[in-house]
Structure 1
């Protein structure tokens, strides 16, 4: 979704800069103007050959720009690796992964469980097993595999992506799967937090109630003018996305307030270590 939208934005900009109409581009591609319009709106699946022809038509000679746009066309073809997913998976999976795979920043709050991005397989499997009790083991295995693939992709992007995560302290104490799994889960949290692009905070019991802990949510931010910052809310009645500026700002303000009431990262990691030693060793 996002690679296609970015590619379409660039193709429209280049066509207009070249002083050409949709019909001119369509003539070059030997197609209808509506097809070119769909490509520019991020709705059509771009073929690499068509993108090359349009770049030639628009007299784009910048090698780096040509390479970047052709890479976007290739990435657009790769979108949807998750499409063959279990029926139990939420229908908005594609939108979520598209945002997750392209954002420059993520602000993540998780209240009742460890954030999905940081879950180890045992912990993750138990969560899915409880969320989808009637699903066969094969589907649960597939759900765990998909989440693991997402985790690897996001962690591989940490050079370009920054993650700020707040986890409520209750998630550290709630035993998911087993004592041994919790020991490994908290140890994994400490390992992930060593990355300089991850800011992990714990909202402690001692800080009482905060508006920010009413539901799990993620704020996706982008460092370009093409993509809109978006908030995702994980609600019991159904997940919800919003790119409305006022809604995103509301959650950014809530998250900023929540973060300001958390101890710093070192103190948060010390708290994780204390719970690990006290509860799970």
Structure 2
């Protein structure tokens, strides 16, 4: 897939450009006429879908009457960040458009609330578990592409540990994932050992949603709620579905899945009981 640069800087720039245009009392048609382009190009810039050019951004800021140099410099930096190649785009062959968007959000979110049904979360998979999982899910894919998928997953974990802004990932894992054998018994023992260390990792919290929990409306698919600290970023929900991921950004949808997560969290085990259950599951792979 083509390299499009990080999503979040483009969204932040677009939100500011829209705010400035509306504050100036101008419509999309005015901005398009000024740049001698289509209104769809301006719309794509404002929604973060277009690739920003510094010249276009300067022209729009002049049209909107922005004369604050510090703000101009900040927006132009966002334009530059939105054009640069992201670290994960070195592995383009392993990327899909959904995964590109997912990693963009994952790389900038201040909080992720994740509920997982079938498999261990990508952020805490061992390399051996990830490799066995990909070989099982994509049996006809070339080995080189599968290895790129594994490399990308491991780099995502490294990037999270390298962040200095203290992001948090709160994970609720359905108990079934502990007993679904991926690869071999050795691989599962290693993976469950890794899960036992998750709650000692800064920023990560793992709890198990047990079989004993009563049915819950939110426990029908794997989902993630991405939350951001800034006013310019849109909170987003990712639904993992067999036919392809679905993205929700409407405020009502984000609120609904946040409530789903909270209800599931109330029915999940505490950290000590989670460790006991993982230890019990591990003994079955001896």
TM-score range, shorter chain: 0.7 to 0.9
Paired with 1:103 and 1:258, the residues of 2 have a C-alpha distance of: 21
The equivalent of 2:205 in structure 1 is 199
In the alignment, is residue 173 of structure 1 matched against residue 168 of structure 2?
no
Which range moved further: 211-220 or 184-193? 184-193
In structure 1, C-alpha distance between the alignment counterparts of 2:123 and 2:135, rounded to whole Å:
17
Is 1:108 matched with 2:125? no
**1:127-146: CA deviation from partner (whole Å, max 9, x where unpaired):** 11111111111111111112
Residue 79 of structure 1 and its aligned partner are, at CA, apart by: 4.8
- Asked whether the 8 Å contact 2:35–2:56 carries over to 1, the reply is no
The 5-angstrom pairing of residues 64-103 of structure 1 reads: 65=71, 68-79=74-85, 81-82=88-89, 85-86=92-93, 90-103=96-109
1:190 aligns with 2:196: yes
Assess if the C-alpha contact under 8 Å between 2:91 and 2:152 holds in 1: no
Q: Which of 128, 137, 141 matches 2:143?
A: 137
Which digits, 9 at most, give the CA deviation of each residue in 1:96-128, with x for residues without a partner? 222222222111011121012211111111111
The CA distance in 1 between the partners of 2:239 and 2:47, in whole Å, is: 26
For residues 31-42 of structure 1, the aligned pairs below 5 Å read 31-32=35-36, 34=38, 38-42=44-48
* 1:190–1:269 contact (8 Å) kept in structure 2: yes
Task: Work out the CA distance in 1 between the residues paired with 2:74 and 2:273.
Answer: 42
C-alpha spacing 1:21/1:15, structure 2 compared with 1 (3 Å): same
Q: 1:111 to 1:41 in 2, by over 3 A?
A: closer
- Which residue does 2:216 correspond to in 1? 210
Structure 1: tracts of 5 or more residues without a match:
none
Q: Helix, strand or coil for the counterpart of 1:82?
A: helix
Check conservation: 2:16, 2:232, Cα contact below 8 A. no
Distance across 2 between alignment mates of 1:86 and 1:134:
15
Judging changes above 3 Å, is the alpha-carbon distance between structure 1 residues 273 and 66 closer, same or farther for their aligned structure 2 residues? farther
Corresponding residue of 1:239: 245
For residues 201 and 187 of structure 1, what CA distance do their matches in structure 2 show?
15
Note the residue ranges of structure 2 that are not aligned, 5 or more in a row.
1-6
Is the counterpart of residue 126 in structure 1 residue 132 in structure 2? Answer: yes
Contact 1:5 1:41 in 2 (8 A): yes
Report if the CA contact (8 A) 1:18-1:58 is conserved: no
* Aligned-partner Cα distance in 2 for 1:26–1:231: 32
Deviation track 1:18-67 (CA, whole Å, cap 9, x = no partner) reads 7899899899xx953656665444343224566567778732233xx566
Q: Is the 8 A contact 1:165 1:199 kept in 2?
A: yes
Equivalent position SS for 2:212: helix
- Determine helix, strand or coil for the equivalent of 1:159: coil
Let me know the Cα RMSD of the aligned residues. 3.2
Q: Give the TM-score, by structure 1 length.
A: 0.81
CA distance in 2, matches of 1:246, 1:21: 27
SS in 2 for 1:241: strand
CA distance in 2, matches of 1:255, 1:170: 18
Secondary structure of the corresponding residue to residue 115 of structure 2: strand
SS in 2 for 1:4: helix
